[in-house]
A and B are shown apart, each in its own frame.
Chain A
Amino acid sequence: MAEKGALAEAPPVAVAKKPARPWDPRLLLEREEVLGYLLMLPALGLLTTFVVYPFLYGIWLSLTDSRIGVPGGFVGLKNFIELTRDSIFQQTFRNTFLYTGVTTVFKLAFGLAVAVLLNNTFPLKRFVRAAVLLPWIVPTVLSALAWLWMFDSTFSVINWMLARFGIKGPVWLGTNPWPMISLMAVNIWRGTPFYAISFLAGMQVINQELYEAAAIDGASRWQMFRHITLPTLRPVIIIVVLLSVILTFSDFQLIYVLTRGGPANSTHLFATLAYQVGLPSGEIGLGAAISLFIFPALCLTVFLTLWYMRRQELD
C-alpha cells in the first residue's frame, strides 16, 4: 500500500478515512465502525430473532387469552390479576423465593468450605478437583433421574441406609414438607461444585505471602479466612452468586424430573408452572404471564451485576 509511511505514525483509522474512493468496499472494510458492525451483524441477527423478538412476543402473549393453536384476543392484565388470586400460583411464588434463598445460602457456605478444603495440598489433588465438578457437568435431568431412584418410595437406598440406624425414612417425594426439602438438597448437590471450583480459581491468585505474614503475626486459620481470603474473593463471590441466583430462580429440570410440581401442585417453581399451564394445558397466554414473573428477578440481577462491574472498573 502507498500509505505505508503515514500508517506507521498515525492510528490506522486516520488513514482509512481519507481514501480517494470512500465507497470502495475494500477500503470500507478498513474503517473500524464499518467492519465492527459487519462482524457483529450475524450475532445480533440471531439474538434479535430468537431472544429479543420472542421476549417482546411473550409480553404480548401474556396480555392475551391465547391457547395453543387458537390466537387469542387482548385481555389487558386479566392473566396477572387472575394469577395473584390463584392459590397454586401463590404457593409457586413462595416456593420460588424459598427455593432460591435457601439453596443459595447453602451453596455459598458449602462452596466456600469445599474451596478452602481443596486449596490444601494432598495426594491426588488434581483428580479430586476434577471429580468435584462432575455433578455440575453432567446433564441435570440425567443425574436427577439417579436421585429419583434414590428417593423411590419403596426401594430408596437412602431409607435403606437410615433403616440400618433404626430410622424409618420418609416418602421423600410424597409427603410434605419432604418434597421441597429433597428438591433443595439436590439443587445444592448440583450447584455447590460450581461455587467451589470458581472460588478455588479465585483463591489461587491470592498471594501466599499474605498468609505467611499473618501466620507470623499469630493469626488463627479463621482470622486468615475472614481477613485475607474473603475480601480478595469478594468479586468472584458476588458474580457467582448473581449468576447462580438467576439460574436457580428460573430452574426447571430438577422439578420436572423429581416431582413435576407435585404432590398436588405444591412444589412448582415459576418455570414448571408456566410449562404445565402453557403447554400440556394449552393456555399459552396464561403460561407466558407466569414465565414473565422471572423477569423482575432477572432485571434485578442484571442491574446489580452491571452496577458492581462498573464500580470495579472505576476502582
Chain B
Amino acid sequence: MTPRPVAILDRFISIYVPVVITLVLLLFPFYWMAVTSVKPNAELFDVKANPFIVLRPTLEHYRYLFERTLFANWLLNTTVVAALSTAISLVLSVPAGYALARFRFPGGTLLGWGIFVTYLVPQTLLFLPLTQVINWLGLANTIWSLVLTYPTFLVPFGSWLLIGYFRSIPKDLEESALVDGATRLQALVRIALPLALPGILSVGIFSFTLSWNEFIYALVFISDPVNKTVPVGVTSELIRGDVFFWGSLMAGALLGSVPVALIYSFFVEYFVAGLTAGAVKG
C-alpha cells in the first residue's frame, strides 16, 4: 500500500538526517583543530574572514611545535610512560585476575570486591596525599612517578576484566593438563594464557589509552618541562599567561590525539569489549 518514495523519505528523516547531525556535533571540534592548525596567523585573527576556509594552508605551526617547543620530548615521554605502565599492569593483573577467577582461598571474594572498589576510586581523591608519597620516594619530577602510579587505576580495571575473561574459558583444559602432570603455574602459562589472549589484548589497548590520556597525576607530579607528557605539556607550556598560540596549540592537540585515535581505529572491537566489560558483567 505504502508508495516507495514515502518510505525512502521516512528513512531519510528518521535515520540519515539524525546520523549526520550526530556526527557533525560530535566531530566538529576535531575538524576545528585540524583547520586551525594549518591556518596562517593572519587568517586566524581576522574577524571578518569566513573561519571555515583556509586560504593559504601552512605547516608553520607544526614546525614551531617541533623546533621551538619540547613537543617531541613530550611525545616520547608519553609513549614510554604509557608502554611501561601498560606492561606493569598486565604483569600484575593477569595473575591477580587468574587467581580470583580460578582459585578458592580464604578472603578471595573479599579481595576481589576490594579490587573492584579501587577501580572506582577517582584520581582526584588521592592526588594531594599521593604527591607527598611521591616526594618521599624521591620520584617527583621523573616519569617514574607516573610509570608507578598509573597501574593503580589500570590494575583494578585489568584484573576485573580478566576475571570475567578467565571465567569464560572452560576449566577442563587446565584440569586435564594437571592430570597429565603439569604444575598449576604451567597450566596458567601454557593453557589459560594463550586462550585469554584476546582479553589480555583488550586490557593492554585500553590501559595504553588510559595512560596516554591521564592528566592530573602528570600535572602535579612533574614540573620540569622536559619530563612532561603531551596533555600536560600542551596545556601548560604552550599557553603563556594570556597569550594563546592557537595554531600550534591546535597542532599539538591534534598530534596528541592521533596515536590513541589510530590505536582505537585498529582495535575498535577489542576496545568496545574493554569499555563494556564492567557494564556487561552484571
Contacts and interface: CB of A to CB of B under 8 A. Distances in A.
Interface in A125-154: 126, 128-135, 137-143, 145-147, 149-150, 152, 154
A10 B124 CA distance: 50
A43 B151 CA distance: 9
Interface residues of B, number: 101
Contacts of A167: none
A112 interface: no
Interface in B221-278: 230-232, 234-235, 244, 246, 249-250, 252-254, 256-257, 260-261, 264-265, 268, 271-272, 275-276, 278
A301 interface: yes
A65 interface: no
A140 B210 CA distance: 11
Interface string B126-151: 11111111000000000000001101
Contact of A141 (B132, B185, B235): B235
A46 B92 contact: yes
Interface stretch (B27-35, B54-62, B65-73, B196-204): B27-35
A131 B275 CA distance: 15
A135 B272 CA distance: 14
A45 B51 CA distance: 54
A157 B36 CA distance: 11
A50 B148 contact: yes
Interface string A296-315: 00100110011001001000
13 contacts: A12-B178, A35-B99, A39-B103, A51-B118, A57-B133, A120-B15, A149-B36, A198-B279, A201-B272, A252-B216, A298-B125, A301-B120, A306-B116
Interface stretch (A79-87, A168-176, A209-217, A235-243): A235-243
A246 B253 CA distance: 26
A253 interface: yes
B161 interface: no
Contacts of B121: 51, 55, 298
Most buried by A among B113, B156, B276: B276
A76 interface: no
Contacts of B181: 1, 4
Given A32-B103, A146-B32, A130 B268 contact: yes
4 nearest CB pairs, A to B: A250-B122, A271-B124, A39-B95, A36-B103
B79 interface: no
B105 A37 contact: yes
Contacts of A287: 128
Nearest to B188: A39
Given A32-B103, A157-B51, A236 B126 contact: no
Nearest to B152: A50
B168 interface: no
A294 interface: yes
Nearest to B255: A142
A145 B250 contact: yes
Interface of A: 1, 4, 7-8, 12, 26, 29-30, 32-33, 35-37, 39-40, 42-44, 46-47, 49-51, 53-55, 57-58, 61, 114, 117-118, 120, 122, 126, 128-135, 137-143, 145-147, 149-150, 152, 154-155, 157, 160, 189, 192-194, 197-198, 201-202, 235-236, 239-240, 243, 246-247, 249-253, 256-257, 270-271, 274-275, 278-279, 284, 287-288, 291-292, 294-295, 298, 301-302, 305-306, 309, 312
B234 A274 contact: no
B117 interface: yes
B132 A57 contact: yes
Contacts of A157: 32, 51-52
Contacts of A139: 212-213, 215, 230-231, 256-257, 260
Interface string B175-219: 100110101110000000000000000000000010011011001
Contacts of B148: 46, 50
Contacts of B261: 134, 137-138
Contacts of B26: 131-132, 134-135, 189, 192-193
A217 B226 CA distance: 67
Contact of B122 (A122, A142, A145, A294): A294
Nearest to B91: A42
A52 to B, nearest CB: 8
B169 interface: no
A56 to B, nearest CB: 8
Given A131-B26, A236-B276, A43 B179 contact: no
B272 A43 contact: no
Contacts of A235: 279, 282
Nearest to B158: A43
